[in-house]
Amino acid sequence: MLRDVAHGAMVAHRARIVARQHHWRLRVRATSSLFSPALEPPPEASTFAPFEKKPFFAYEEIYASKRSRARVGVIRTPHGDIHTPGYVAVGTNAALKAVKHDVLREAGIDLMFANTYHLLLTPGADVVGDGFGGLHSMMGRNAPLITDSGGFQVFSLGMDADVEDDDGKSSSPRVRELKSRNKTKHKRENLLLRVDERGALFKSYRDGSKIFLTPESSVEAQKKLGADIIIPLDELPPYDISDEVLAQSVFRSHRWMARSLRAHLADVRQQAMYGVIHGGVNRELRTLSVEYLSSLPYDGLAIGGSLGRDSNELIDLLSFLMPKLPRDRPNHLLGIADVGSIERAVTLGVDTFDSCYPTQVARHGTLFTHTRGKINFRRAEFKTTLEPACYECACTLCANHSLGYLNHLDKANEPLAWTLASEHNLHFMGTKMAKIRRDILNGDI
């Protein structure tokens, strides 16, 4: 009986996905001259094995708030547990700028992000995998790692490239709109050369060599990097494009992600893969994306693409989207980790957040504090301040040094200033997330 009910629900879910896909195909065909292959549906969920929890990777919900959708949980990985809600530190080149890896453990930050795009360029995935035995070994880090597909950086390179629709027409309305809406802000060489159904061709900013990134090659690279969690290749359109062009981008991302998932499942290697939900701020497309991706055997789901113009639009989107995500798998908000957004998004059920923002602003003079709020330690008023930045903090800066000393180091252009400030903000983020978890457990969130 229960099996029949579950089968019926699955059939109905797949029918909704097909109906939504058909709706967008008709809508685009009616409003533009674009040919239908641009909206070719991705493979049906029935062509994949059903989702099953892995023995080496699982999410456990420890407590669900009765006041909101907030929850406390733990993600089990081969290299340790990730406590959620949690902040994920970004180490672009498999390193935190001017900060030792040990600081993350001291700060209570479990997961670290590394960027596949940058690691492809140097030292190369082959060097990391074959030469060092993977990122964990190369870095000397026995703790969880996540890598992205490289797509975010590739599509951030600019869109004066030869972008082709799925019918091979590089001069179609979709291509013209993508190019006109995604100009680079500064004069620099456009390194993205071509995008088509196969993948993206770009030039290395280091030596000018050409690299063709496909869903399969991105997965292959991430297999060699060996992170605990990996991300499939997706297309990243700009914010201000039409719904019709956005729909085609979502369909292409779904086709690419399905290819990525097949490549991953053919050689799992004790790695988990998160699907990336797209659709901009269009609720119909976001619904289509989350329904399709949650029907596939991804180990978790990430929320990506354009997330709105500001924090309010982000929260409005998450308020609509988060109730649609499956509760038995972890979720991740890509590229967002300012404190204000975290505090609001946690109540909506977001598990993990990544951003280089805390360490980036630290190198430019901003400290997060528990009692003073954000402060700029470069200001003249702190030149002779003998107090620490934050009495509540256990970092090296606050335990041993004054704001006046940090101000002096920065004025003298001493790299130690970047290290102390970055370590402090990482400690702040770890402490902040630990307090959020306690507040959820105590019924305050």
Task: Name which of 174-178, 215-219, 404-408 the model is least confident about.
Answer: 174-178
In the chain, the percentage of residues whose pLDDT exceeds 70 is 88
d(CA 253, CA 235): 5
Q: What string of DSSP letters covers 32-67?
A: S---GGGGPPPPPGGGSPPP--BTTBEEEEEEE-SS
All residues at 6 or more sequence positions from 290 whose CB lies less than 8 Å from its CB, including other chains: 277, 301, 321, 324, 325
Task: Name which of 37-46, 49-58, 250-259, 265-274 the model is least confident about.
Answer: 37-46
- Radius of gyration of the chain, Cα coordinates, nearest whole angstrom: 22
pLDDT at 205: 87
d(CA 85, CA 82): 9
pLDDT, the chain, mean: 90
pLDDT at 27: 75
The identity of residue 312, as a single letter, is N
CA 276 to chain CA centroid, nearest Å: 8
* Residues that are catalytic: 148, 354
In the chain, the percentage of residues whose pLDDT exceeds 90 is 78
Report whether pLDDT(402) > 90. yes
Residue 21: pLDDT band (50, 70, 90) is confident
Q: What is the pTM of this model?
A: 0.91
Please say whether the beta carbons of 298 and 261 come within 8 A.
yes
pLDDT tens, 314-359? Answer: 999 999 999 999 999 999 999 999 999 999 999 999 999 999 999 9
pLDDT tens, 58-109? Answer: 999 999 999 999 999 999 999 999 999 999 999 999 999 999 999 999 999 9
pLDDT tens, 158-215? Answer: 655 555 655 555 545 454 454 544 444 445 578 889 999 999 999 998 899 999 999 9
CB neighbour class for 124 (10 Å; exposed up to 12, middle 13-18, buried from 19): middle
pLDDT tens, 126-139? Answer: 999 999 999 999 99
CATH class of 2-355: alpha beta
Token pair for residue 381?
């008023």
pLDDT at 427: 98
Token pair for residue 236?
């990243």
pLDDT tens, 418-439? Answer: 999 999 999 999 999 999 999 9
Q: What string of DSSP letters covers 261-292?
A: HHHHHTS-TT-EEEEEE--TT-HHHHHHHHHH
pLDDT at 14: 76
59: β partners = 75
pLDDT at 369: 96
Give, to the nearest 10 degrees, the angle between helix 173-181 and helix 243-265.
90
pLDDT at 175: 47
Q: Can you give the residue ranges of every domain in the chain?
A: 2-355, 364-441
pLDDT at 35: 45
For residue 331, give the 3-state DSSP assignment.
strand
pLDDT at 381: 96
Task: Name which of 57-66, 115-124, 175-184, 261-270 the model is least confident about.
Answer: 175-184
